[in-house]
Chains A and B, each alone.
Chain A
């Protein structure tokens, strides 16, 4: 399958300065001086990041720089100890919220390695997730028929085979199918803040395009996206407003799409950095 559209034309790079000025809305996410340990080892060391509604931020960095740690801390994984710092999400103290509450309030993490849950039907799982959120919002839970209607519509976004809905969650899915299943979950849950942790890893070009289209279709003025990635490649399809370079637990550089291209060409240049530090 060939997709002709070039996302560049669809979504030209926006002058981030100008866009920033136009975006006078309150931040979706505000991370201040975040310090995080994993098993007493310091991973994040004073990270600051502010994201406004509608913005797409790419976070790049070498292995072990703390990218996945940041994603997991935002989602509320307990194995990460926040030793210092604050995270505000839509004006609420995110660190005070339980994992499930964060999800119901609109924080979504697309996993780097989506885990299998044998015996649990994918559809049942998706319905349980959506209904948990709906009941939190005081909405009526969807019944099986309404949910089926919804999912049939959403599944088109990710060009996923309907058969996968009737299998156990991620069980026996190919790498690409797992990632598409993550995007499907995102499409169903319609989060305010989506964190995509290396969603591009292990995808061939076709799969990357499908997943990217899925992500692009979910871009909205009310939704912020954090794209955690190793490679510039996905940014050709999902064009970010900002690119940040994370190294040694801090954001060391920020810029726009051009920064990602520069990194691609020249590398992270960390050797220079360590010499200068």
Chain B
């Protein structure tokens, strides 16, 4: 490493450390998700062959180029093996046992009213403050005429169209804007990128497509009004966002409400393209089913998210709050290609019971004067395992580039673990790279102080955890931040004995 570069590295690796506090945090919060509806689905039988890919493409009436693209990915995928470098352990996945296409579910066979919905689920919605009509939609009830989500969506869509913003499902984009899809698909996350991204490229079901024209500031946060419609995107989601020169967009993904999904494996791909002077803010709240308190079930979430600051002065910012899934494997990254471009990663990852998270980011500095900021907050409770894994790469020509990384871990109880793996590669002597890390735990003394002041242990934990995550919540759009705060409290319910 060049001597001229200012390099401050300080990190700790904590391995299942025995911690003296005896919080006895056997975390027994059950996932408030208790019903399964048997809906007749038109789906492909389990199995993955070239024929499967052709069928998916045919059902979706895709243009030739996309079929070929999928097939190329499939061919590649056959040569790949699942990555083994992360801290995550799970039973082997049999890819031939998965069904790769299911038509969007009909709402008619779902529960007819909220009376038929698990009261526990409703309780969670209540705690999250989700409006009643939205609750119905989330629990799979066909919504009545009073609340016409389609018309709400249409109103906003019209507003977006007026300024030339395209916001639609990926499938619609393939039909209506094939040229844009063809131009940008796979340009940020190539088909060959990694096992899960390659699998997604072959079989992706649906997702979102956003195009912001030159100089346009998107007039609203995308997705908060549309999340009801976006619940059926399937297990292999694909999102593509293109921000033309000088444009701005803030995109919200996910939902604080526990999402029902019978598919155990999720492998999504998100690609962001920011042209000169464009800014993309991408916020995620992920709350998939985490499995029960013994670690049974739960979603395996293997996600590849990457953005490129293609032009000068472009900016991409990732903010994520990850509380769900049995397994989270996710590294939202930024390629800083344009000069003076900047990338940010703000993350809160919470693991409870037997949840595992291996998450972080990659900041690749290519252009001159590029900046990146990484702030990662990991919370581990129960037997939860939380790893931060990040790469900061300063390329040879990235003069005067700067990175600041901060990784904080909060441990609860004595069975949880926090791990930090920062990788730093610096090839330019003018770069400044800083890494700071802290590990703390919620102590008996702190809880006793709160309880002595009348605050219940649960509320105390929630106060402390929210204080720990404050920096990240500030980065979320207001409405999302309020939800995230509540979500964290609910996810930690029962975490102190």
Which residues of A are in contact with B by a Cβ distance under 8 Å? 75-77, 98-100, 102-104, 108-109, 111, 114-115, 117-121, 124-125, 128-129, 132-133, 136, 168-169, 185, 189
- The complex places the Cα of A152 from the Cα of B467 at a distance, in Å, of 23
Which of chain A's residues has its CB closest to B377's CB?
A119
Contact call A120/B454, Cβ cutoff below 8 A: no
The stretch from B28-36, B112-120, B442-450 touching chain A is B442-450
Contact call A117/B467, Cβ cutoff below 8 A: yes
Contact call A99/B448, Cβ cutoff below 8 A: yes
- The complex places the Cα of A98 from the Cα of B440 at a distance, in Å, of 27
Q: How many residues of B contact A (CB 8 A)?
A: 21
The answer to whether residues A115 and B454 also contact, given A120-B463, A120-B467, A168-B467 and a CB cut-off of 8 A, is: no
Partner of B464, one of A100, A119, A129: A119
Determine if B451 is an interface residue (Cβ-Cβ < 8 Å). Answer: yes
Determine if B453 is an interface residue (Cβ-Cβ < 8 Å). Answer: yes
Contact call B459/A103, Cβ cutoff below 8 A: no
Determine if B11 is an interface residue (Cβ-Cβ < 8 Å). Answer: no
Determine if B229 is an interface residue (Cβ-Cβ < 8 Å). Answer: no
Contact call B467/A121, Cβ cutoff below 8 A: yes
Contacts of B182 in A (CB 8 A): none
The answer to whether residues A103 and B467 also contact, given A77-B448, A128-B459 and a CB cut-off of 8 A, is: no
- The complex places the Cα of A132 from the Cα of B443 at a distance, in Å, of 21
- The complex places the Cα of A115 from the Cα of B455 at a distance, in Å, of 15
Contact call A128/B455, Cβ cutoff below 8 A: yes
Closest A-B pairs by Cβ, 7 of them: A119-B467, A129-B453, A103-B454, A132-B454, A99-B451, A120-B467, A104-B454
The answer to whether residues A103 and B446 also contact, given A118-B440, A168-B467 and a CB cut-off of 8 A, is: no
Partner of B446, one of A117, A121, A129: A117
Contact call B453/A119, Cβ cutoff below 8 A: no
Contact call A109/B452, Cβ cutoff below 8 A: yes
Contacts of B450 in A (CB 8 A): 117, 125, 129
Which of chain A's residues has its CB closest to B445's CB?
A115
Determine if B456 is an interface residue (Cβ-Cβ < 8 Å). Answer: yes
- The complex places the Cα of A133 from the Cα of B449 at a distance, in Å, of 15
Contacts of B452 in A (CB 8 A): 75-76, 99-100, 102-103, 108-109, 111
- The complex places the Cα of A104 from the Cα of B446 at a distance, in Å, of 18
Contacts of B8 in A (CB 8 A): none
Partner of A115, one of B446, B467, B468: B446
Which of chain B's residues has its CB closest to A107's CB?
B452
Contact call B451/A115, Cβ cutoff below 8 A: no
Determine if B60 is an interface residue (Cβ-Cβ < 8 Å). Answer: no
- The complex places the Cα of A169 from the Cα of B463 at a distance, in Å, of 11
* Closest chain B CB from A252 CB (angstroms): 28
